[in-house]
Structure 1
């Protein structure tokens, strides 16, 4: 049975299929099930704002859910050119969340006028023009983006040819401090776990006041524990986390979407 797979359909309107191990299949929360399978609507991309946000013909601003574009040239320029090449294509737009504080909806978009319909998030991630990031989304509907990103990173496509985007080790504190305020991928082994009433802290060094820490709010920690990603599953594991690096007792990342933590030994953590 270990060689078999279980297929879970997410967002039927976008035709996305996630293949996972049967032992990792977890009940989907009512919120995630509702959001990720909501009906998509026809639309077109009319323009891009000066900040790179999508301006849809139907009105309002939007951003592609589950990813972030590079903030440095030439990769940002290449990603924006990729999007401009799709102006006025007929598409299906599936709203995942929003509006956020910048009045943007998080959306998934699929082109309609192609022999093989193109999921825009897939296209940007697999060519190395974007990084998987669901940190500002309410739910993460496309976990397959992590696998697409891993392939692009291994092939050194797009921004992954640049050392500044490659995962950093927790044992490089100076490099981490230099990246405070920036989005980063950080890898290391969980040394200890501090569970508190409102937050849980994953500690990666012997000096918690100086080393790297992952901060997880209570709600997210409960979601992780319900998936089998609690303290027993994480302690001693080498993992990769992603988010905005912040200055806190050394350096830290705050994680609100469980999928933004990946296990580096033995495959993906449970979903």
Structure 2
């Protein structure tokens, strides 16, 4: 099995590199229709401000967080917050795409976050028809896939676009700041605590204890990298027909925020955080 992304049951499939490239090469409107048939589409209004590569402001004052993606971050008034590499470039690209243009919003999950921002997919009329902004940013290597357990629509084709951009070394994928990290280098991962990372490695041991599933990437669980699947996420995996316990020995890619609890670890809150690259 190669490059399997663990999405919801209707999207579960084996995804080869050729399939990734084919999906990513489709037009943005086509991919939107294929990936997001259940989006609730509503008029958005005119974009009057682009805050960064994944956040816009509409003419009625609503702030829209472009769900499903994470662009390089900017300080935006936060004292001591560093500008991530390619942050200004991502903002400039999104401005060229959306600023002073009328957009439509597509909702596929939770609609508003705790900050009052709209959580939506954004579509704008382009020279060749409707353009899906998230897909375009990911395809250029100016954003990466960033998902939530309560907002899981449209991810399949965003993963495909990201895979092609990463293989081609586009945008952020050419910068070491965004490199895929090695699970076998826990000391280096500890240095990335507090950062959102993609981590690849082979699962040495998969076990369930105290209502959690632990995917251990080394023999010393208090020192080596671990991915932890909490009880609510275990239910999501089960609903997808996937048992993470069978992945012992598999080469996988995990994405999420790195913390330091008995060594570096990432908490998995939903299946899309885990991609299976090979099972031996």
TM-score in terms of structure 1 length: 0.80
Of 157-166 and 193-202, the range deviating more from structure 2? 193-202
Structure 1 distance, partners of 2:32, 2:154, is 12
Q: Which of 47, 50, 69 is residue 49 of structure 2 equivalent to? A: 47
- Contact kept, 8 Å, 2:53 with 2:143, in 1: the verdict is no
**1:183 CA displacement:** 0.8
Name the SS for the 1:252 alignment partner.
Answer: strand
Q: Which of 4, 12, 17 is residue 34 of structure 2 equivalent to? A: 17
Name the SS for the 1:39 alignment partner.
Answer: strand
Structure 2 distance, partners of 1:89, 1:13, is 21
- Asked if 1:225 is matched to 2:242, the reply is no
- Contact kept, 8 Å, 2:53 with 2:93, in 1: the verdict is no
- Asked if 1:87 is matched to 2:113, the reply is no
Structure 2 distance, partners of 1:137, 1:63, is 14
Superposition pairs of residues 120-269 of structure 1, within 5 angstroms: 120-135=133-148, 137-265=150-278
- Contact kept, 8 Å, 1:197 with 1:218, in 2: the verdict is no
Going from structure 1 to structure 2, the CA distance change for 1:255 and 1:124 (only over 3 Å counts) comes to same
Question: 1:154-202 CA deviation, whole Å, 9 max, x = no partner?
Answer: 1110011112212111111121011110110001111222323442221
**1:60 CA displacement:** 1.9
Structure 1 distance, partners of 2:140, 2:180, is 18
Structure 1 unaligned runs (5+)?
1-6, 19-31, 267-271
- Contact kept, 8 Å, 2:52 with 2:88, in 1: the verdict is no
Structure 2 distance, partners of 1:52, 1:125, is 10
Q: Which of 85, 88, 94 is residue 77 of structure 1 equivalent to? A: 88
Query: Alpha carbon RMSD of aligned pairs, Å?
Result: 2.6
- Contact kept, 8 Å, 2:51 with 2:91, in 1: the verdict is no
Structure 2 unaligned runs (5+)?
1-9, 12-28, 74-82
**1:136 CA displacement:** 6.7
- Contact kept, 8 Å, 2:104 with 2:122, in 1: the verdict is yes
Aligned to 2:39: 37
Aligned to 1:104: 117
Aligned residues: 242
Name the SS for the 1:160 alignment partner.
Answer: helix
Structure 1 distance, partners of 2:188, 2:32, is 41
| Higher RCO, Cα 8 Å, sep 6+ | 2
